[in-house]
Each structure stands twice: as C-alpha cells, then as structure tokens.
C-alpha cells in the first residue's frame, strides 16, 4: 500500500549533489597531489641550487682567506731576503695559521719547508708545467692529492703565490697547503649530501674529492663523466646530455642537466665553478624521486585530510539519506492517514481508488460521498469525544461489512468517501452499514438518530479521472437538502441541470439587486377570534425582466450557503422600511405591523443590530409597523448570540417572532430562554396537529404555555375552514395561510386590505 518506495526527488537531488561533490573532491585531491609533487620537485631543485650557491660561497671565502694568508707570507719573505730567514718565516706563518702549511719551491728545483729542510722534489718544474699556461696572476688555488707527513694519502687545497727572490733570476712559488678531506662535512653541505652526491671535479672531469655517497652510487671511476655514463641507462638522450655538459663546462661557470639512470630514475646534475681556481667545479648529483620521499609526509597529511573529509561527507550523506527516509515516512503518514478515525484520508483514496478502478475495469463500482445529518448538533450535545467515536465507527464498521477491494475514508469533519462494488448485496450492505453506525452511536451513549446523506456516482468504463468521479458523487449529495425522507441521491442529468441553475442564479443575484428584481409580496395575518386583519408577512419574490417569477425556495437555501442572504435580507429590510415610511407620510392606508424574514446567519454579524437601527432611523419609521421573524436555532453557541440579538432588537422597540417552530428540533425550553413576542407554528406541524388527536394535545399545551409566557401564537399554512375551527378551539387566535390569502404584491395588498374602512370578512 505504501506509495513510492524509492527516493523522493529531494533526497535523490541531495544524494546526486553529494556524489558529484565527492567525485569533485576526489579529482581535486588527485590534481592537488600531483601538482604538490611537482611544486615540491621544483622547490627541491631550487633549494638545492640555493644550497649549492651557499656552499660555493663558503669555499670561495676559504680560498680568499688562503690567498690573503699566502700573500702575507710572501710579502714577509720578500722583505727579508735572507736564506736563513726563509725557513724561519715559513715556520712563523705555519705556526700562525695552524691550518696552513707554507713551503717554497725555488727555481733551482729545491723546495724549502717550515721545519728547515730543503728537498729536491721537482715541485717547481711540476707547477711551472701544470700551471704555467694559466698562471697569469700572482695567486692561484689548486686542489691536489698528496701524502701527509704520516705518509697518508690526502687531498689538499694548495694556494700558490709567485715570488721572485733576489738570488734567483726567475720567480719561484710560495705555497700554502691545507687539507680538504673534511670539505663535505661542513654544515653548508648537510642538505646537499643528504639529498645527493657532492664532488669536486676539474675541467677534464677528474674527480678531486667526493663525499661518502659517491662511491656507493657512482663507483670507483676517476673520471666524473665516465662515471655518469656508466651510471646512465645508456640512452642517446642521457649520453648527449652528459656530453653536452662535458663540452660546456670549460666555458661555463654554472649549469645543470638531467638524464635517466640505468635503474630508470631521473637524475639531476648541477655544477658551479669555484672562484680563484678556475678549473675546479662543485658537482651535485641527485635523484628527483628523492623529492617524493621528502614530500611524502605532506602528501600523507593531505591524503589523511581528504579521507577525513570523505568520511565526514559519507556520514553526512548517510545522515541526509536517513533523515530523508524518516521524513518521507512521516510525510507519507501525514499525507495518507487520518488521525481522527485511524483510517486513511482523501489523498489515499484518490490514489488507491483510481488504482483499484483501473485494475478492475470490468467490475462495476460506485462512489459514495456522504456526511452525517446534523453532526454539528451531535458534537455540541454529546461532546467531541463521543462525536469522534461515531466518525471512527463509520470507518471501522465499513471495514467489517465491506470487502478488501472496497474503501472508506474520512475527508474532513463528518464527510466521508467510499468506493463500493455494485452488486446484488449493495443495498443490503448499505442498510447493514447504517444500522451498524447507529448501534455504535447508541453503544457510546448517543441516542440521537444517525442519518447519512449520501451522494452516489456510478463509475463508467470510460471514467479515468477520480477527482471528477468524486465531484459527481458530491454534486449528488449536495442535491439533497437534508429534509428528504430518503437521504440518498444518484448522480444524474437532473443534478447537472440543477447545478447549472445554481450557477445561473449565482451569476444573476448581484445584478438583480441593482435592477430591483426582488419584490415584496405580503401575506395577511388574521385574527380568527375577531375576524380581522392583524398584520402581514413580507415574502420575497424574484421577478425577472421578462416577468418570470422565482420563488424563495429556489434561491434562499442557495443564498444561505453562499452568503448572499445577508445582502438580500438587508435589501428587503431597507425596501420595506422605505415603503412603510412612504405610506406613513401619504396617510392613504391604515397600516398593520409587517414582519420581515431575517436569516439566522445574520446574527453572526456583530454589526447586525447597529445596521438595523441605522435603517430604522434613516427612514424614521414607526417601529410599531415593523416586526422581525427569525428561525429558532438548536445550536448552543448560536442560542446565546440569539438571546443577545433579540434583546437588543427589542430595545429598539421591535417585535420579534420565532419562525417555523416545530419544523426542526424545536424545544419548548427555547421560548423560556429567548424573549420572543410571537411564536409562529410551522405549517407542517399545524397540519399534522389538527389531523391527529394526540398531536392536538401537544398543540394545546404549546398554545397554553405560550400564553402563560405572554407570547402570541400564529399558526401558519392554514388552508381550510376545518383547520380554523380546530385551532380556534385549541385557543389559537391568529393564523396565516392560503385560506385567507396567498402572498400578493405589496401595492395590491395595500389596496385590498389597508384602505380606510375596508372590511373584509371570511367568517
Ligand atoms: P416562511 O417564512 O415560513 O414563510 C411562509 C411560507 O409559507 C411562504 O412561502 C408562504 O407563501 C407559504 N404559505 C403561506 N400560507 C400557506 C399555505 O396555506 N399553504 C402553503 N402550502 N404555503 C403557505 P414562500 O413565500 O415561498 O417562502 C418560503 C420561505 O422562504 C419562507 O418561509 C422564508 O423562510 C423564506 N423567505 C421568504 N422571503 C424571505 C426573505 O426575504 N428573507 C429570508 N431570509 N427568507 C425569506
Ligand atoms: Ca416567515
Ligand atoms: Ca414560517
């Protein structure tokens, strides 16, 4: 039975949006990670080059310092040109600069040391040969491998100053030596060594000194370029990159290149020349994928964040979906259930009945649209709780009596809809159903007879629109006024034409007031004791342009439901007052009190009495000439209002009549509660009373009681002489009815009954 089990459109929209956001996040995260990797790679390269710059600066600074110290030593030797002094000065400076060792290679082939020894070691020839072609300046710094005093192989920085001593005809070389074994241990190399391999290489690619990673990664080869080639994957690209670097280096101070290793890793090589050496280069080799290792924690954190977002989103989506499900169930419950009866409601009926009819096209169905007559009275007299039990019984008893394919729901207040299969049991079932509701009411202490007013529509094979079917059944129900003996009507052409009539009346009522189509007809009220006219009742007649007449029964009930009655009654009151005033001024007729009918609905208007007062004072009529007739009410809240209104109208000097007594659920108590001056006994009640002996007693009691309360009685609808005789015997003094006259146009009435000295007798 439950309608749509899938997602409703709102939840589906939320879920798809959520999914799109999720995919979006996924993509953004992937793109973010890739670009993050790229950024870090670039950043690492930049940082590497930056660190390299710093390292070169530091080395350059050391070279400069070495140059200053070497030059200072050279100056000292130059100004003390004495052999003995040479070794002393060398010692002096070696002591002063404890990281340098000074010695002098003279052109005679001897090398003089700080400890006073002089050795013929060919250093002068070597230096002249190696550096002659480029040793233009006074100082050059070279790196060289050699043995220390302990005979260990070491790598050195050697600062060389050309120094011409007097005793030689060509310059020798003053040298300062400092070891550079721990070069890469300096903190400025920390980053570089951590990330890659550092080495000092000369122009030809000879490796002068390296960090500890070099051998591990690039092997034992003496030549840097050969080692790189060995390490590369041997591709043309890698080879040409290495060759290009090799050819560029003699003319470039710095640069970098990339190639691929035999293990398929991207290798980045950067170089920079060390000042003051002109043939020594700092080389740094690093693997680009090493960057990823650095970036990994960042990427991991990104991934973690993304996962958390994902989980939050999934939880949110789950929550929304679940809330949607709960909300959908609640909406379904609210949309399809009726809280008063515990059954289903109109929405459900529209859906389900349409389904049943469509799936069973061969089955003849009826739609019942019914309400409970005078349910409002039951509500007020027995209370809402008991009234609700009757409503519940309407649904429960239906389910007990009818089959599964038949439905009954409450629409609102006491209005119901049912889908019934039309077969031989239909009549019987309906009787049992009404009986069952009546019994349920009695069981719950409601003695008031339960009567259903039912409109029936027979579903045709080509009917598809359930709303139209319901409307037809409702039109049939509305065609019943509530006073008929059988409260059941089948939808028919007649009902349609009545509806059209109603539409026509509704479209014409407003212009009818403007065109003065509502006319006053008067019917005499007769004193049957003295046989004379005692008053008249104003009754409305709608006379159209073409002269056709519409009787109140054709439009008053409609005006009471559409609210137009308020306008009409006020219009009639004004018209009557205007005419009364004219007659009063003319002095042509002898006036009797004329009563005007005012609908019960008018008393709900809080300004009603004020409006009546205004009309009376506007036309300045004698209030003795005007009476007001209102139908009694059985409803409690209206009764209180009625008492108030009647009292206020009486204060204006008006006489008040209670109309149609005995037509509905009249109670004698009402005469005591509401201070009416006149009691008009309904036509039906009069004709019944004079016909049956037992009713005569009731009528007599009513008349007696009214007299006791000082209320005048008028019996309506008197048509025969016999009725008058009986009523006179019962103590009734005034009557109104066709026996004396029908309602006739006001002017005709005045001419007939109100001319001075007119004496019409029926006796
Ligand atoms: P009502 O107020 O009970 O008026 C008396 C009705 O009984 C009138 O019907 C009258 O023509 C009819 N009648 C009088 N004597 C006899 C008789 O001997 N035999 C029969 N069979 N009928 C008799 P009418 O004029 O058709 O009015 C019907 C109802 O319409 C009135 O009943 C009243 O309730 C309502 N009505 C008429 N004019 C107005 C009006 O201006 N305003 C309001 N609110 N209701 C009006
Ligand atoms: Ca009346
Ligand atoms: Ca009446």
Question: Over the stretch 200-234, which tens digit does the pLDDT of each residue have?
Answer: 888 888 887 777 776 667 665 678 888 888 888 88
Is the per-residue pLDDT at 580 higher than 60?
A: yes
Pairing of strands 153-163, 254-260: unpaired
Read off the pLDDT band of 3 (50, 70, 90): very low
CA–CA gap between residue 390 and residue 370 (Å, rounded): 14
- Which burial class, exposed, middle or buried, applies to 400 when counting CB atoms under 10 A from its CB (0-12, 13-18, 19+)? exposed
Q: What are the tokens at 596?
A: 């005007």
User: What is the distance of C-alpha 9 from the center of its chain?
Assistant: 12
User: Encoding tokens for residue 722?
Assistant: 């016999």
Q: Of 360-374, 402-416, 450-464, 665-679, which range is least confident?
A: 665-679
pLDDT digits (tens, 9 = 90+) for 291-329: 667 667 777 787 788 888 888 888 887 888 888 888 888
Q: How far is the CA of 604 from the centre of ligand 3 (A)?
A: 21
More confident residue, 245 or 144: 245
Residue 647's pLDDT is: 96
The pLDDT, as a whole number, for residue 758 is 55
**Average pLDDT score over residue span 511-535:** 97
pLDDT of residue 40: 74
Task: Tell me if 302 CB under 6 Å of ligand 1.
Answer: no
Assess whether pLDDT exceeds 90 at residue 711: yes
Q: What distance in Å separates the CA atoms of residue 36 and residue 297, rounded to the nearest whole number?
A: 12
In tens, the pLDDT along 25-35 reads: 778 877 877 78
Q: What separation in angstroms does the CA of 465 have from each of 168, 370, 601? A: 130, 20, 36
Contacts of 331 by beta carbon, 8 Å cutoff, 6+ apart: none
Q: How far apart are CA 533 and CA 555, in angstroms?
A: 30
Of 234, 241, 192, 238, give the one whose Cα is nearest residue 214.
192
The CA distances from residue 306 to 18, 25, 287, 295, 300, in Å, are 15, 8, 29, 16, 10
pLDDT at 167: 80
Between residues 262 and 140, which one has the greater pLDDT?
Answer: 262
Q: Residue 15 pLDDT > 80, yes or no? A: no
pLDDT reported for residue 192: 82
Tell whether ligand 1 has an atom less than 6 A from the beta carbon of residue 735: no
Eight-state DSSP code of residue 212: T
User: Which ligand does the CA of 660 lie closest to?
Assistant: 3
Most confident of 71-75, 189-193, 619-623: 619-623
- Quick one: pLDDT band at residue 1, thresholds 50, 70, 90? very low
Per-residue pLDDT at 4: 45
User: How sure is the predictor about 131, in pLDDT bands with cuts at 50, 70 and 90?
Assistant: low
Please answer whether residues 130 and 118 qualify as being in contact, where contact means their C-beta atoms are separated by less than 8 angstroms.
no
- Token pair for 125: 């020839």
Interval 354-367 mean pLDDT: 94
Tokens 């691929």 sit at which residue? 260
556 within ligand 1 shell (Cβ under 6 A): yes
Distance of CA 173 to the CA centre of its chain: 93
The pLDDT tens digits for 35-86 are: 877 777 777 778 888 888 888 888 888 888 888 888 888 888 887 755 557 8
Q: Which helix (H) or strand (E) holds 718?
A: none
Helices (H) and strands (E) in the chain, counts: 23, 26
What whole-number distance in Å separates Cα of residue 94 and Cα of residue 547?
147
**Which residue owns the Cα nearest ligand 1 atom 3?**
660
Distance CA 204, CA 224 (A): 9
Q: Name 522's bridge partners.
A: 538, 744
Q: How far apart are CA 583 and CA 626, in angstroms?
A: 13
Closest residue to atom 13 of ligand 1, CA basis: 717
User: Facing residues of 538 across strands?
Assistant: 522, 596
Mean pLDDT value across residues 489-507: 91
741: Cβ below 6 Å to ligand 1? no
For atom 41 of ligand 1, the residue with the nearest CA is: 540
Residue 198 Cα to ligand 1 midpoint, Å, equals 123
Backbone phi, psi, residue 294, to 5°: -70, -40
Is residue 715 in contact with ligand 1, taking CB distance under 6 Å?
no
Bridge partners, 268 (sequence order): 258, 286
Question: Is 650 a residue whose pLDDT tops 80?
Answer: yes
- The sign of the torsion formed by the CA atoms of 718, 720, 725, 729 equals negative
- Say how many Å lie between the CA of residue 539 and the centre of ligand 1: 6
pLDDT score for 133: 45
523 CB within 6 A, ligand 1: yes
- Which helix (H) or strand (E) covers residue 197, if one does? strand 196-202
- Written as six digits, the tokens of 572 are 């009639």
Say whether 550 sits in a helix, a strand or coil.
strand
How far is Cα 430 from Cα 420, in angstroms, rounded to an integer?
Answer: 10
> Is residue 506 within 8 Å of 488, Cβ to Cβ?
no
- Determine the residue of 562, 597, 666, 681 to mutate for testing ligand 1's pocket, defined as the one with the most ligand atoms within 8 A of the Cβ atom: 597
Q: What are 730-749's pLDDT values in tens digits?
A: 999 999 999 999 999 999 99
Pairwise CA distance, residues 580 & 589, whole Å: 10
Least confident of 168-172, 593-597, 702-706: 168-172
Q: Which residue is closest in CA terms to ligand 1's atom 4?
A: 539
Q: Is the CB of 660 under 6 A from ligand 1?
A: yes
pLDDT over 90, % of the chain: 45
Q: How far is the CA of 582 from the centre of ligand 2 (A)?
A: 24
Name the residue of 509, 525, 539, 556 to mutate for ligand 1: max ligand atoms within 8 A of Cβ: 539
| Burial of 619 from C-beta contacts in 10 A (0-12 / 13-18 / 19+) | middle
Compute φ and ψ for 656, nearest 5 degrees. Answer: -115, 135
Q: Which ligand is nearest to the CA of 720?
A: 1
Given a cut of 70, whether residue 472 has pLDDT beyond it is yes
Determine which residue's CA is closest to atom 33 belonging to ligand 1. Answer: 597
**pLDDT, tens digit (0-9, with 9 covering 90-100), for 539-579:** 999 999 999 999 999 999 899 988 999 999 999 999 999 99
715 backbone φψ class: left, alpha, beta (φ>0; ψ -120 to 50) = beta
Closest atom of ligand 1 to CA, residue 739: 18
CA 552 / ligand 1 centre spacing (Å):
7
CB of 743 closer than 6 angstroms to any ligand 1 atom: yes
Angle, nearest 10°, between helix axes 493-514 and 565-586?
40
Task: Report whether residue 279 contacts ligand 1, using a CB cutoff of 6 Å.
Answer: no
Q: Which residue has the higher pLDDT, 327 or 608?
A: 608
The secondary element (H helix, E strand) that includes residue 478 is: helix 466-478
Phi and psi torsions of 92, nearest 5°: -55, -50
Average pLDDT over residues 457-471: 95
* Dist. CA 557 → ligand 1 center (Å): 12
Per-position DSSP letters for 370-436, written without gaps between them = EEETTHHHHHHHH-HHHHHHHHHHHHHHHHHHS-TT-EEEEEETTEEEEEEE-STTHHHHHHHHHHH
Mutate to test the pocket of ligand 1, among 483, 551, 552 (most ligand atoms within 8 A of CB): 552
Q: What is the model's pLDDT at position 202?
A: 82
**Is-contact 390 379, C-beta < 8 A?**
no
Whose CA is closest to 327, among 1, 9, 21? Answer: 9
Q: How far is the CA of 489 from the centre of ligand 2 (A)?
A: 29
CA distances from 12 to 168, 313, 574 (A): 102, 16, 64
Q: How many CB atoms lie within 10 A of CB 609?
A: 20
> Using an 8 Å Cβ cutoff, are 388 and 438 in contact?
no
- Nearest ligand 1 atom, CA 629: 2
**Does the CA dihedral 492-496-497-499 come out positive or negative?**
positive
C-beta 599 within 6 A of ligand 1? yes
Token pair, residue 662, equals: 């005995």
The closest alpha carbon to 370, from 500, 499, 459, 489, belongs to 489
Strands, E, within 557-711: which ranges? 594-597, 626-631, 655-661, 678-681
Q: Residue 709, by phi and psi: left (phi above 0), alpha (psi -120 to 50) or beta?
A: alpha
The burial of 631, by beta-carbon neighbours within 10 Å (0-12 exposed, 13-18 middle, 19 or more buried), is given as middle
- Tokens standing for residue 467: 């709303």
569 Cβ below 6 A of ligand 1: yes
Measured over all CA atoms, what is the biggest interatomic distance in the chain, rounded to whole angstroms?
Answer: 186
Residue 679 Cα to ligand 2 middle (Å): 11
Q: How many CA atoms lie within 13 A of 763 on its CB side?
A: 12
- DSSP secondary structure letter of residue 459: P
Residue (of 195, 201, 257) closest to 226 by Cα position:
201
Q: Please, is 107 exposed, middle or buried when counting C-beta atoms within 10 Å of its C-beta (0-12, 13-18, 19+)?
A: middle
Question: How does the average pLDDT of the chain come out, rounded?
Answer: 87
The model carries a pTM of 0.56
For 406-427, write each residue's pLDDT tens digit: 999 999 999 999 999 999 999 9
Give the Cα separation of 469 and 368 in Å (integer).
Answer: 10
**Which pLDDT value is given to residue 291?**
67
Asked whether the beta carbons of 594 and 678 are under 8 A apart, the reply is: no
End-to-end C-alpha distance for the chain, whole angstroms = 75
Lowest mean pLDDT among 393-402, 536-545, 678-687: 678-687
Q: What is the CA radius of gyration of the chain?
A: 61
């Amino acid at each position: 039975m439950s309608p749509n089990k899938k997602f409703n459109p709102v939840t589906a929209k939320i879920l798809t949006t959520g999914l799109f956001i999720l995919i979006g996040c996924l993509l953004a995260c992937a793109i973010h990670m890739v670009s993050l990797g790229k950024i870090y790679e670039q950043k690492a390269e930049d940082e590497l080059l930056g660190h390299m710059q710093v390292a070169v600066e530091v080395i350059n600074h050391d070279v400069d310092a070495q140059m200053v110290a070497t030059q200072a030593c050279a100056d000292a030797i130059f100004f003390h040109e004495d052999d003995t002094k040479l070794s002393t000065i060398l010692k002096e400076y070696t002591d002063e600069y404890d990281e340098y060792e000074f010695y002098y290679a003279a052109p005679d082939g001897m090398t003089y040391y700080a400890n006073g020894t002089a050795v013929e070691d060919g250093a002068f020839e070597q230096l002249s040969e190696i550096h002659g072609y480029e040793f233009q300046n006074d100082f050059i710094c070279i790196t060289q491998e050699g043995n220390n005093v302990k005979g260990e192989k070491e790598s050195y920085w050697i600062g060389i100053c050309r120094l011409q001593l007097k005793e030689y005809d060509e310059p020798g070389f003053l040298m300062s030596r400092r070891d550079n074994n721990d070069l890469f241990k300096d903190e400025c190399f920390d980053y570089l060594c951590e990330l890659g391999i550092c080495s000092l290489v000369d122009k030809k690619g000879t490796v002068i000194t390296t960090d500890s990673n070099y051998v591990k990664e690039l092997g034992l080869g003496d030549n840097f370029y050969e080692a790189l080639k060995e390490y590369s994957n041997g591709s043309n690209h890698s080879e040409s990159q290495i060759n290009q670097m090799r050819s560029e280096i003699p003319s470039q101070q710095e640069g970098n290149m990339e190639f691929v290793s035999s293990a398929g890793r991207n290798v980045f090589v950067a170089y920079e020349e060390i000042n003051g050496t002109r043939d020594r280069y700092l080389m740094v080799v690093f693997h680009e994928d090493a960057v990823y290792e650095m970036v990994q924690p960042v990427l991991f954190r990104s991934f973690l964040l993304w996962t958390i977002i994902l989980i939050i989103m999934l939880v949110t989506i789950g929550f929304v979906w679940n809330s949607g499900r709960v909300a959908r169930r609640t909406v379904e419950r609210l949309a399809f259930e009726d809280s008063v009866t515990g059954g289903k409601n109109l929405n459900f009926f529209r859906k389900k009945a349409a389904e049943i009819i469509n799936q069973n096209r061969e089955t003849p169905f009826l739609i019942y649209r019914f309400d409970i007559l005078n349910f409002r009275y039951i509500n007020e007299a027995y209370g809402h709780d008991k009234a609700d039990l009757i409503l519940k019984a309407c649904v429960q008893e239906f389910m007990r009596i009818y089959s599964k394919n038949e439905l009954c729901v409450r629409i609102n207040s006491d209005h119901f809809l049912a889908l019934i299969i039309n077969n031989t049991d239909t009549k019987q079932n309906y009787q049992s159903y009404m009986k069952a509701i009546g019994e349920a009411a009695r069981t719950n202490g409601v003695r008031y007879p339960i009567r259903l007013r039912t409109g029936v529509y027979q579903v045709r094979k080509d009917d598809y629109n359930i709303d139209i079917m319901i409307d037809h059944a409702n039109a049939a129900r509305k065609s019943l006024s509530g006073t008929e003996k059988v409260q059941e009507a089948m939808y028919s052409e007649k009902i349609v034409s009545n509806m059209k009539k109603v539409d026509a009346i509704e479209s014409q009522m407003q212009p009818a007031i403007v065109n003065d189509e509502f006319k006053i007809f008067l019917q005499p009220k007769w004193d049957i004791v003295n046989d004379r006219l005692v008053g008249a009742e104003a009754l409305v007649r709608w006379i159209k342009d073409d002269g056709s007449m519409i009787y109140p029964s054709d439009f008053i009930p409609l005006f009471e439901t559409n609210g137009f009655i308020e306008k009409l009654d006020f219009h009639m009151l004004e018209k009557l007052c205007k005419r009364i005033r004219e007659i009063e001024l003319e002095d042509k007729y002898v006036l009797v009190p004329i009563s005007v009918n005012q609908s019960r609905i008018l008393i709900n208007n809080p300004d009603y009495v004020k409006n009546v007062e205004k009309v009376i004072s506007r036309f300045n009529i004698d209030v003795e000439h005007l009476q007001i007739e209102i139908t009694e009410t059985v409803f409690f809240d209206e009764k209180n209002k009625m008492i108030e209104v009647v009292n206020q109208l009486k204060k204006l000097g008006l006489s008040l009549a209670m109309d149609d007594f005995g037509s509905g659920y009249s109670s004698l108590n009402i005469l005591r509660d509401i201070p009416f001056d006149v009691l008009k006994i309904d036509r039906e009640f009069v004709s019944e009373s004079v016909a049956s002996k037992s009713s005569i007693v009731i009528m007599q009691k009513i008349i007696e009681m009214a007299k006791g309360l000082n209320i005048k009685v008028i019996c309506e609808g008197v048509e025969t002489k016999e009725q008058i005789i009986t009523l006179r015997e019962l103590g009734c003094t005034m009557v109104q009815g066709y026996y004396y006259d029908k309602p006739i146009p006001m002017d005709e009435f005045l001419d007939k009954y109100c001319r001075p000295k007119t004496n019409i007798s029926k006796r």
